[in-house]
Amino acid sequence: MSFDYDKYIRPGKLPHIWCPGCGHGIVMKGLIRAIDTLGLQKNNTAIVSGIGCASRLPGYMDFCTLHTAHGRAAAFATGVKMAKPEMNVILVGGDGDGTAIGGNHFIHACRRNIDMTYIIMNNNIYGMTGGQFSPCTPTGAKASTTVYGNPDPAFDVAKLAIGAGATFVARGTAYHATQIDKLIAEAIQHKGFSVVEILDDCPTTYGRRNKFKSVIEMMNRLKDIAVPVKAAEKMTAEQLEGKILTGVLYKEERPNYTDEYAKVIERAKK
């Protein structure tokens, strides 16, 4: 029997705004399967986003959904989670939204280790505004504001999250569709701030400027550069040149913020 995605989609809200060939829909399906696996209750789950193509995801989902301002998802979500720690809080958004204008909120959510899951769809570009370079656009790549090649170095989102204190960090790709739900499910189950970066594609504003002839070519690139962490252990530095590790990259147990604040309440009441 095929999986019933409609159970979690708001009636009448599809079709989505995403272009043909965009990976965001693959990530949304992965999120839905993860939610189904974990049996999360719709009324008790908030899905929060910022601004951009990826941030339109919550509107399609039949949950408590909050489409905030550009970059602010983590800060709004922190308010939701603090006020109602019993709720599951899931953040979604793109690389520009999360690591540029939202960078401060992102690293501080990591530092607090507040029990939320952040899914970053990294397509290396600001898609909704027409393809300007983001902090995740590779050096040298073309964007509408880097027609001579991008002079900026790019962020490694996973390293950024680990450095800032996130206690679960994973990476997948839009090509490896069946892995996405497993990574997201594990991230949601993790007690603390979890980050799942999904390497994604934007054929419309990134692909056509960077000599990708088709969506298939973009997807094949994701397939080619991805190396599971286990496999990478047996590979030489030379073999890993140009590759990107996928799977669970980092995991640690550390007190999470709302549990710690519950202790503050206990101490204050004494």
Which chain residues interact with other proteins by CB under 8 A? 10, 13, 42-44, 46, 48, 58-59, 62-69, 72, 75-80, 82-84, 86-87, 104-105, 107-108, 261, 264-265, 267-269
Q: Closest CB to other proteins among 87 and 188?
A: 87
Distinct helix (H) and strand (E) counts, the chain: 11, 10
Shortest distance, CB of residue 249 to other proteins, whole angstroms? 24
The b-or-e profile of 77-95 (16+ CB within 10 A means b, else e) is bbebbeeebebbbbbbbbb
Shortest distance, CB of residue 126 to other proteins, whole angstroms? 18
| Cis peptide, bond prior to residue 85, ω within 30 of zero | no
SS3 content of the chain, % helix, strand, coil (to 5): 45, 20, 35
Vertex 189, ends 45 and 196: CA angle to 5°?
Answer: 85
Cβ within 8 Å of residue 181, ≥6 positions away = 29, 30, 31, 32, 33, 34, 37
CA distances from 179 to 63, 66, 247, 264 (A): 23, 26, 8, 39
Shortest distance, CB of residue 203 to other proteins, whole angstroms? 24
- 10 Å CB burial of residue 20 (0-12, 13-18, 19+) is exposed
Shortest distance, CB of residue 261 to other proteins, whole angstroms? 7
Phi, then psi, of 174 in degrees rounded to 5: -70, -20
Shortest distance, CB of residue 229 to other proteins, whole angstroms? 30
Distance CA 173, CA 179 (A): 8
* Residues counted in the chain: 270
Q: Closest CB to other proteins among 79 and 140?
A: 79
Q: Closest CB to other proteins among 54 and 75?
A: 75
Shortest distance, CB of residue 146 to other proteins, whole angstroms? 27
Shortest distance, CB of residue 69 to other proteins, whole angstroms? 5
Q: Closest CB to other proteins among 19 and 245?
A: 19
Distance CA 89, CA 86 (A): 9
Q: Closest CB to other proteins among 6 and 224?
A: 6
